[in-house]
């Protein structure tokens, strides 16, 4: 089947999508968008989080055919050209990236959190990120990055 949808602001079509293909697979293997990571493929880790019609979703749990006519924004779509999004920059500046496997999902979730709740409490941050698992850190640097991003929120698009 052919799937046509908007991804990171551009209209795209992908041919020969098979029924069981996930959105994550289509993005990574067919569309040159490997930012979303495939860590568990079971909806458990959040590494594959993207925006689907403006709402975060695990792309490993979305069938590629389901996005026909819809809008997807991936972690690649957070940056403005060569300029990192302030959330991305905050993760770099806070040293919140080790292997980086969890990072794309955390970036999208943090971006969404600050969009919904500009001044989140500690509990709201922990709840928002509770579905995103990091295998590398004790999460402190990640929380530092989120607070840094909150400080810089006026620049987030």
When the beta carbons of 7 and 23 are compared against ligand FES, the nearer one is 23
Residue 137 C-beta: closest distance to ligand FES, Å: 6
Cα–Cα distance, 43 to 131 (Å, whole number): 9
Residue from 4, 100, 116, 118 that binds ligand FES (CB under 6 A)? 100
When the beta carbons of 2 and 44 are compared against ligand FES, the nearer one is 44
When the beta carbons of 67 and 97 are compared against ligand FES, the nearer one is 97
Cross-strand pairs, 13: 4
Residue from 1, 83, 92, 99 that binds ligand FES (CB under 6 A)? 99
Side-chain-facing half-sphere of 24: CA atoms under 13 Å: 21
Residue 111 C-beta: closest distance to ligand FES, Å: 17
Chain positions 110 to 139 lying near ligand FES, rule: CB under 6 A, are 134-137
Residue from 63, 101, 144, 147 that binds ligand FES (CB under 6 A)? 101
First to last CA, the chain: 34
Task: Write each residue from 35 to 74 as x if it is in contact with ligand FES (CB under 6 A), else as -, in one continuous string.
Answer: ---xxxx-xxxxxx---------x-x--------------
Q: Which residues bind ligand FES (CB under 6 A)?
A: 38-41, 43-48, 58, 60, 97-103, 134-137
């Amino acid at each position: 089947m052919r799937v046509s949808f908007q991804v990171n602001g551009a209209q795209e079509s992908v041919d020969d999508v098979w029924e069981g293909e996930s959105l994550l697979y289509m993005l990574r293997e067919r569309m040159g968008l490997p930012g979303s990571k495939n860590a568990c493929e079971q909806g458990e880790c959040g590494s594959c989080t993207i925006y689907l019609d403006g709402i975060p979703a695990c792309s490993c749990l979305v069938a590629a055919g389901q996005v026909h006519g819809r809008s997807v924004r991936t972690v690649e779509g957070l940056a403005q050209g060569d300029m990192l999004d302030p959330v991305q920059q905050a993760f770099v500046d806070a040293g919140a990236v080790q292997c980086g496997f969890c990072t794309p999902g955390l970036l999208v979730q943090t971006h969404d959190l600050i969009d919904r709740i500009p001044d989140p409490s500690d509990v709201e941050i922990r709840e928002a990120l509770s579905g995103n698992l990091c295998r590398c850190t004790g999460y402190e640097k990640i929380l530092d990055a989120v607070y840094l991003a909150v400080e810089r929120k006026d620049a987030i698009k």
